[in-house]
Amino acid sequence: MAIKIYITGNFLVAEDSVSRTQFFKVNKKGVHHQRSADDDFSFFQEGLFPQGSEQPQYLQLGAQTAWEWNTTELEQQSQTTFPFSDIVDGVGVAYPDADTFDQYLNDNLGVDEVVISGGSGFLTYVAHDATLTGDGTPAFPLKVVPLIGNYEERFDPFLPLVGGAWHVISLAGLPSNRLVEILCGPQINNQVVGIREIGSLLNRSVRLDVDSSFTMTVRTNALGQIEIFATSLSNDFYVTAYLF
């Protein structure tokens, strides 16, 4: 029998994956778990019966709320220990291994969901760079800046330095670590031109004739450099845009 054990919002849920019989659904903040040497998992809820002591009391979960119809009447379905081999996640997929499931519980049980909001006791805004907009408040939620927002149109011509070999081009004003759009066009027929990142081994090149061209996007390095190829010096190159 596969049993779904998963966390949704602030709740830990255990239920039969076929009948949907629910063994428990409790606030995860007060729940602890134990793992046996045989990878059986048990769950305990804290503070239900204080018994006049300052020490927390625990109730083992699983046998108190699971009931199922058996033709004419409800029968209690008791299970307080759950073998890992029977456990699946909320959509019915097995966890990779018992260690992963154990860490999942360690990371999530005993705490509430963290909510970032404006107002007393919470962050009032979030500082960030130009890749985001907004300040994290309800009125101005954080959003990723679309790439088109950082598009800069250019038309900066340059020429190859050598013919017949890949070589590095350093252009004044070419931004570092950004995508740039390069247009290539030959002045004579039967020319091979190419563009690639510094250190790339890809032969990103095409053969062109006069009155034809091609455009390619490439990322600059930290020095704002790229590599180009041209059969001869009779080829024109243009930086046509900075993309982001």
Each residue's pLDDT tens digit, 208-235 = 999 999 999 999 998 889 999 999 999 9
Class of domain 149-242: mainly beta
Reported pTM: 0.42
Whether the CB-CB separation of 101 and 34 falls below 8 Å is answered with no
Token pair belonging to 127 = 């500082």
Whether the CB-CB separation of 100 and 87 falls below 8 Å is answered with no
Spatial separation of the C-alpha atoms in residues 139 and 121, rounded to whole Å:
18
Mean pLDDT of 85-112: 87
Q: Is the pLDDT of residue 138 over 70?
A: no
Whether the CB-CB separation of 195 and 182 falls below 8 Å is answered with yes
Mean pLDDT of 115-140: 60
Alpha-carbon separation of residue 184 from 10, 197, 206, 208 (angstroms): 57, 16, 10, 9
**What is the pLDDT, as a whole number, of residue 196?**
95
Confidence of residue 27 (pLDDT cuts 50, 70, 90): confident
Q: Is the pLDDT of residue 188 over 60?
A: yes
**What is the pLDDT, as a whole number, of residue 119?**
46
Mean pLDDT of 76-104: 86
**Could you tell me which residue, 34 or 57, shows the higher pLDDT?**
34
Whether the CB-CB separation of 176 and 238 falls below 8 Å is answered with no
pLDDT > 90: percent of the chain: 37
**What is the pLDDT, as a whole number, of residue 118?**
46
**What is the pLDDT, as a whole number, of residue 134?**
72
* Chain length of the chain: 244
Spatial separation of the C-alpha atoms in residues 20 and 54, rounded to whole Å:
37
Ramachandran sector of residue 103 (left: φ over 0; alpha: ψ -120 to 50; beta: rest): alpha
